[in-house]
Amino acid sequence: MNEGVRWLTEDEQRVWRKYLAATSMLSEYLERRMQQDAGIPHTYYEVLVSLSEAPECTLRMSELAVRSRFSRSRLSHAVTKLEAKGWVVRTSCPSDKRGAWATLSEQGRAVLEAAAPDHVEAVRKALFDVLDAEQVHRLGEITGAIIDGLAEECEAVEADAGEGAD
């Protein structure tokens, strides 16, 4: 039964383990710094960034979820927290009464701008300072390939979910 399995080669295993170590170390590093600097998870910061880049600093919840790669539920919980801090405001949408808008408040923008320099510094220190230009370019290629591969995979899964029994 194991004969069909394409196990990883020695080299692939080494790379995979380094990948796991590097990504978890990096995300824990950013997480810790963001928690200290702004008192929120790194992912919440990315939500604020997404909002700040939208016209009028406003997006529909579902659109914000896509841009932040949050599930609807996760975003709903997150925005509840961010609203409690006064950094985001929810408004109900008149054209589609199911919908809701999320808007970055002035206070939210201030927090974002205050946290940004430290965040960039952290990303630089952990990533771009240790890579040369060639490696940065390659990393772009590699991550692009992963994204494309998984995007296909996701579409396939959604297609399966959509179809009932035939």
Partner DNA sequence: ACTATGTTGTTGAGTCTTCAATGATTCGAT
Partner DNA sequence: ATCGAATCATTGAAGACTCAACAACATAGT
The answer to whether the beta carbons of residues 89 and 83 sit under 8 Å apart is yes
- Which amino acid, residue 126? A
What's the closest the beta carbon of residue 117 comes to a second copy, in angstroms? 4
Name the binder of 18 from DNA, a second copy, none, CB < 5-8 A by kind.
a second copy
Q: How far apart are CA 77 and CA 154, in angstroms?
A: 24
Q: Residue 40: how many CA atoms within 13 Å on its side-chain side?
A: 22
By C-beta, is 37 or 99 nearer to DNA? 99
Residue 44 within binding range of DNA, rule CB under 7 A = yes
Q: How many residues bind a second copy (CB under 8 A)?
A: 55
Q: How far apart are CA 158 and CA 152, in angstroms?
A: 10
Q: Within 125-164, which residues bind a second copy (CB under 8 A)?
A: 125-131, 135-136, 138-151, 153-154
| 45 CB burial (10 A radius; 0-12, 13-18, 19+) | buried
Q: Residue 36: how many CA atoms within 13 Å on its side-chain side?
A: 9
What's the closest the beta carbon of residue 96 comes to a second copy, in angstroms? 28
Cα distances (angstroms) measured from residue 113 to each of 22, 45, 119: 28, 11, 10
Residue 121 within binding range of a second copy, rule CB under 8 A = yes
Name the binder of 121 from a second copy, DNA, none, CB < 5-8 A by kind.
a second copy
Site string for a second copy, 30-59 (x = CB under 8 A): ----------------x-------------
Kindly tell me which residue out of 29, 52, 58, 76 binds DNA, with binding defined by CB under 7 A.
76
Q: How far apart are CA 160 and CA 166, in angstroms?
A: 11
Binding residues (CB under 8 A) for a second copy: these are 1-2, 5-8, 11-12, 14-16, 18-27, 29, 46, 69, 116-117, 120-121, 123-131, 135-136, 138-151, 153-154
